[in-house]
Amino acid sequence: MIKRNGKACLQVSELDDDVSGKTKTDQRRGFVIKEDDHKLAYVTLPREQSFKFPDLFPEEEKILDDNKSMDEAKQGFTKFLDRTKTRPGLPGWFSY
């Protein structure tokens, strides 16, 4: 492990040289399309250290976001029903 500016850094053991994405031309329109650039680094950890992938998509936050969007949709629908209550027979897209 290397220390720089008081922070622990890991040593990169190998770096892939093919970092630029490939380019190709579109057959119909003739413009250039470039694929995404990718960098690949191989890191070797000492035996004393282990790596654990972080939880990028926690279930609790996802459920809260889903419930929030469901509540917003319900409120919008009740507003729509209140606006169209006095106009029976008119289509919904006719409301203001």
Alpha-carbon gap, residue 68 to 60, rounded angstroms: 12
pTM of the model: 0.34
Q: Give 29-61 pLDDT, tens digit per residue.
A: 888 888 887 777 788 888 888 888 888 877 777
Alpha-carbon gap, residue 34 to 24, rounded angstroms: 6
| C-alpha 14 chain-centroid distance | 28
Give residue 89's region: left, alpha or beta (phi > 0; psi -120 to 50).
Answer: left
Q: Give 65-93 pLDDT, tens digit per residue.
A: 888 889 999 999 999 888 888 887 777 77
